[in-house]
């Protein structure tokens, strides 16, 4: 699951939510689906955190990642 793209994970989470909201599945299946959604949400959160860290860095002249800082005027 972790190798899937963020957008693919969101689509999968949305499907699970619709399925749970439909009320057409039994309790055991609902619990399984809920557990799967929680795992997918955790993966998405991790991907977002990693993306945030990457965006907060820029390449310096040597091609190294350095922290991005905005200079105040």
* CA 10 – CA 1 distance, rounded (Å): 12
Average pLDDT in the chain: 88
Task: Quote the radius of gyration of the chain (alpha carbons, Å).
Answer: 19
Place of tokens 């997918």: 40
pLDDT of residue 55: 79
pLDDT tens sequence across 26-37: 999 999 999 999
* CA 13 – CA 18 distance, rounded (Å): 9
pLDDT tens sequence across 54-69: 877 766 666 677 776 6
pLDDT of residue 52: 83
* CA 45 – CA 24 distance, rounded (Å): 29
**At what angle are helices 6-22 and 27-55 packed, to 10 degrees?**
150
């Amino acid at each position: 699951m972790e190798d899937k793209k963020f957008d693919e994970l969101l689509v999968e989470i949305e499907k699970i939510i619709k399925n749970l909201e439909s009320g057409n599945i039994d309790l055991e299946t609902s619990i399984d689906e809920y557990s799967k959604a929680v795992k997918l949400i955790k993966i998405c959160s991790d991907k977002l955190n990693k993306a945030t860290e990457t965006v907060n860095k820029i390449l310096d002249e040597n091609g190294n990642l350095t922290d991005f800082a905005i200079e105040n005027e």
